[in-house]
């Protein structure tokens, strides 16, 4: 073979091997992150998980989620919040990053670009400002949902601040939150990320006589109404979302806290 053909051919082989090697390393790193996301980080928190298929669960260090692939976002995110976790350290706001621990592949942050919607946190960055690692973890795309800015910065933000007040006042609260994924307002981006018609948040704590919780269901629009106006029973929230919340509680306890609006147990 003439030399003028040999050199280009060798270059093609070298480039192909480099590309294949990079792809192999990328796949290995992805597999390692997926495996890390399959390891339960908190047995205490896992007791309060809603019912979910095991292959949808992603266990991060500071929150856990169940990923809904058709909706390209979490069906729910769960985490605990304590007063110590509300102590802030100096952190730099990172870029949003695709969550490589989601087996099926999390949504690309570019879906949100010029969409008219905020990248709305489910586990708020403000609840994880006690360390850079915890803070950065909230900027994974599995932890965001399309939210109108006036909603994200308005009534939803008011509820997040109220939850922080409860964490300070009651020592520890458990939160389960997400968007209502049925009957969406719209979809955005090349992956058709669902825009929820409403968002929910359940806040639970333990008392001397058992557990108590409040469930909120808020339409996806700005509102200056009192937060109490959005309180619903967990049973009614289950009917709207199709999610079975707190299945590991004793049946009598689950029935008690899910049937009623337990406003009397919470200080606003």
Residue numbers belonging to the annotated binding site: 152
Alpha helices for 171-244 (secondary structure H): 234-241
Cβ atoms 89, 132 nearer than 8 A: yes
Pick the closest to residue 249 from 234, 263, 239, 261 (CA basis).
234
Determine which one of 121, 149, 190, 220 is catalytic. 121
Residue 246 is given by DSSP the state: -
Chain centre distance of CA 159: 16
Cβ atoms 112, 120 nearer than 8 A: no
Tell me the β-bridge partners of 174. Answer: 80, 204
Pick the closest to residue 59 from 129, 143, 164 (CA basis).
143
Cβ atoms 132, 91 nearer than 8 A: yes
Structure tokens at 190: 């090349």
Pick the closest to residue 108 from 121, 117, 95, 99 (CA basis).
99
Is 121 assigned a catalytic role? Answer: yes
Structure tokens at 83: 């007063």
Assign residue 242 a region: left if phi > 0, alpha if psi is -120 to 50, beta otherwise?
A: left
Cβ atoms 146, 188 nearer than 8 A: yes
Residues belonging to the binding site for Mg(2+) are: 152
Cβ atoms 173, 167 nearer than 8 A: yes
The catalytic residues are: 121
């Amino acid at each position: 073979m003439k030399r003028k053909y040999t050199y280009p051919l060798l270059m093609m082989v070298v480039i192909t091997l480099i590309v294949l090697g990079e792809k192999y390393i990328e796949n290995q790193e992805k597999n390692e992150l997926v495996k890390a996301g399959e390891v339960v980080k908190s047995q205490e928190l896992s007791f309060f998980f809603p019912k979910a298929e095991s292959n949808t669960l992603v266990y991060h260090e500071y929150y856990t989620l169940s990923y809904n692939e058709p909706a390209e976002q979490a069906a729910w995110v769960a985490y605990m919040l304590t007063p110590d976790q509300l102590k802030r350290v100096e952190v730099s706001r990172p870029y949003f990053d695709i969550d490589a621990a989601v087996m099926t592949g999390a949504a690309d942050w570019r879906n949100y670009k010029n969409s008219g919607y905020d990248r709305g946190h489910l586990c708020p960055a403000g609840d994880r400002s006690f360390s850079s690692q915890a803070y950065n973890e909230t900027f994974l795309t599995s932890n965001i949902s399309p939210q109108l800015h006036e909603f994200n910065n308005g009534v939803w933000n008011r509820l997040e601040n109220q939850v922080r007040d409860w964490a300070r006042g009651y020592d520890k609260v458990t939160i389960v939150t997400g968007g209502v994924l049925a009957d969406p307002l719209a979809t955005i981006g090349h992956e058709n990320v669902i825009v929820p018609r409403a968002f929910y948040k359940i806040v639970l704590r333990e008392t001397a006589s058992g557990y108590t919780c409040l469930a909120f269901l808020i339409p996806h629009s700005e509102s200056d109404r009192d937060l109490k106006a959005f309180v619903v029973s967990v049973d009614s929230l289950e009917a709207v979302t199709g999610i079975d919340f707190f299945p590991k509680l004793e049946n009598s306890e689950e029935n008690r806290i899910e049937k009623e609006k337990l406003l009397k147990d919470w200080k606003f």
